[in-house]
Structure 1
Amino acid sequence: MDLPETDRCRCFRMAIDVLAKPWTGQILWILQEGPLRFNELVTRVQGIGEKVLSARLKELECQGLLVRRVLPTTPVRVEYELTCKGEGFRQVVEAVTQWGTEIADPDAQAR
């Protein structure tokens, strides 16, 4: 995708703004496994408070990165699941991990 430089900068900034918030990357990573309920997320995102988790989930939903699904059960059950956009986070993780590997490799400078 060839975007003009100003659009590339804007898109980069938008992505960084999403990831800059504490816990967001971890939430996106954990939801790669599949839909989870709120309490399951509280348990898996160790150290996050319920208020912060709730706020992050609402933000990610507004950004179109996940969906909140209310299941018609008794009692009512709510699950959170990544959208296709949210699943794109896997590519980010892979790219950053590769870059981190290169940074950590002392021989990488010679290449």
Structure 2
Amino acid sequence: MGDYLTRRLERRWAPRYLFRAGLEIEWGSAVLRGNTRDISSNGMFIEVPDTLWVGAGFTARLKLPQPVKLDCQVKRVEPGLGMGVSVALSENESHKAYRQLLSSLAPAGN
């Protein structure tokens, strides 16, 4: 049990911030709608009734005044609630905007 908990904590080294925003999931020709529950520098939890499967890749568009488009991969699924996803960060404008969003949520001094 201790090893499992240690591995789980190691995967979540990045601080998470409660953050609610609508988003669209572009997966092939389908568009799914959901909401973020929390976000971190390397991922987020998306509340969505119909989840994808672990390992599925997709593009998410956060509905903000300046929309942010992110490449994501499903890491875990909570049936009936949503899915935890990783976010692939690069140097494009959307990822810069995502990092700025995280900076605005971080408490002063972090």
TM-score (ref. length: structure 2): 0.26
Structure with greater strand share of residues: 2
Q: Which has the larger radius of gyration?
A: 1
Structure with greater helix share of residues: 1
TM-score (ref. length: structure 1): 0.26
